[in-house]
Structure 1
Amino acid sequence: MLPMLIAFAAAFGLLIGSFLNVVAYRLPAGTSVAAGRSECPSCHHQIRAYDNVPVLSWLLLRGRCRDCAAPISRRYPLVEAVTAVLWALVAAIADSTAQAVLGIVMVTALVPITLIDLDHRRIPNAITLPTAIAAIAVGTALDPSGQVERLIAGAAAFAFLLVPAIVRPDGMGMGDVKLAGVLGLCLGAPVAVGILVALVVGSVAGAVIAARKGVAGARRTTIPFGPYLALGGVVALVAGQPLIDAYVKTF
């Protein structure tokens, strides 16, 4: 039964990944993510339904538009595949319906958030706010006994990053602060592991940039923190609670 559930989650994740590509492209441009057919950005021909099958169509077309032969970015099938893997991962590790749905809500939001933050250095409220509302609704409906913990975790994660955002607004944006709160609402206590992972990986990345460009060059380099929080969120989803349990048993 579990293998079938994982396969179903992966297949549905492929479809959702295709939509998330649209969200990441259209939302920053201020265009509707629901209305209008997808089109080739080079020749503006509408993409046919049979050319819009996640991953498979890109492979069959060899990464080029059917009409003008312009190259189609590898990012599109990659995003679809990553979303499928994330959905399958949630299905494989979830211990309850609430954890599964909250995990799906979280990883689905993290994909476009990561793409938009990498491209535009911002995390839209249009994603974080609905995700926060969905997380609260799902948690209250499916796991009311654990909702207080998740609300506290969301508030604590928000407050933890709010301080550096106030002290150094050029280094930490409010979008990152809100995203941390959303992670807490989805993960509960394991969000602490997620933030720790994000800070460690972000620090390592900063050190690498400093080694290449020098300290002055590194200070002038803008590094989006959203992708590190997204990575931390996935790590916390997979291993956050076991790590917390191991730490508590040790100390």
Structure 2
Amino acid sequence: MDAFSYVLFGLFGLIVGSFLNVVALRVPAGESVLMPRSRCPECKETLTPLQLVPVASYLILRGRCRYCGTSLPLYYPLTEAGTAVLFVLAYGRWGWSLELLVALPLLSILVVITHTDLRLKLIPDKVTIPGMVYFCLLRLFVRSDPWWEYALGFVVAGGLLMLIAVLSRGGMGGGDIKLMAMAGLAIGWKYALFAFMMATLLGGLVGMGLLLLKRAGRRDAIAFGPFLAIGIAASYMWGDVLWHWYWNEGLI
């Protein structure tokens, strides 16, 4: 795992992150992710390749459209940079192994749903359902645990959130349920449950902070998808370490 490989995965993450911006913006709108070419959301001018260099173009243009001067959303460079960081972490965790066939698509999906849930409070089925099919098939061949642990993950993680949704009468959205069912297929039932536990803890702390700062009311809905995404990524990459810390040095 040399420096060149880390740089390679970082650059690859930037490129993929640029495409994930397109996916997150166009899929909820029912548009093609391939056509037309990227354009300014305000004046609709088509952007040149030099204006689409991940992160760098945003910085050079000072976050504004070259044609109309409209401020461009900060989530563009954040998505690109965030994806690059996640890809580098994935390479550091698994190196050049087949597990990257799971890690990179899973992390990419988590980036997209974080983007859409924060912006629209929506986790698109067109992202999570194909993810379910992909991980279901892939885990038949690429796995470190018996195949049934991943199948059980689908049932347990998805079923748990569905039960919460029923008992809370809508307190958990369908998108969250499908996301956790997909995660169960990708990382197995144990890591999926740990991911949900971390997401609940983190979401509770953030929600409490927003209430204390009077940035949200008790009845205000807070997007839970980003917390699930953080929990899934953390549990998948560092689950064993975090579990040991939680029980021996953490909050208990």
Structure 2 length as normaliser, TM-score? 0.89
Matches of 2:60 and 2:139 in 1, distance apart? Answer: 41
1:221 paired with 2:203, answer no
Deviation at 1:213, TM superposition (A): 4.5
Matches of 1:98 and 1:248 in 2, distance apart? Answer: 31
Residue type at the aligned position of 1:104: L
Matches of 1:26 and 1:152 in 2, distance apart? Answer: 33
Residue type at the aligned position of 1:53: V
Deviation at 1:40, TM superposition (A): 0.9
Identity of aligned residues (%): 34
Number of residue equivalences: 248
Matches of 1:218 and 1:247 in 2, distance apart? Answer: 30
> What's 1:62 paired with?
62
Deviation at 1:232, TM superposition (A): 0.3
> What's 1:133 paired with?
133
Gaps of 5+ in 2: none
> What's 2:31 paired with?
31
Gaps of 5+ in 1: none
Matches of 1:245 and 1:27 in 2, distance apart? Answer: 39
Deviation at 1:33, TM superposition (A): 1.2
Higher helix share: 1
Once the two structures are superposed, what CA deviation does each residue of 1:195-216 show, in whole Å capped at 9, x if it has no partner? 11001011112222343449xx
Q: CA RMSD in A?
A: 2.3
SS of alignment partner, residue 103 of structure 2: helix
Matches of 2:161 and 2:107 in 1, distance apart? Answer: 20
> What's 1:199 paired with?
200
Residue type at the aligned position of 2:210: I
SS of alignment partner, residue 69 of structure 1: coil
Matches of 2:244 and 2:213 in 1, distance apart? Answer: 38
SS of alignment partner, residue 142 of structure 1: coil
Structure 1 length as normaliser, TM-score? 0.90
Matches of 1:154 and 1:228 in 2, distance apart? Answer: 19
Deviation at 1:119, TM superposition (A): 1.6
Matches of 2:102 and 2:192 in 1, distance apart? Answer: 13
Shift in alpha-carbon separation, 1:213–1:170, aligned structure 2, 3 A: farther
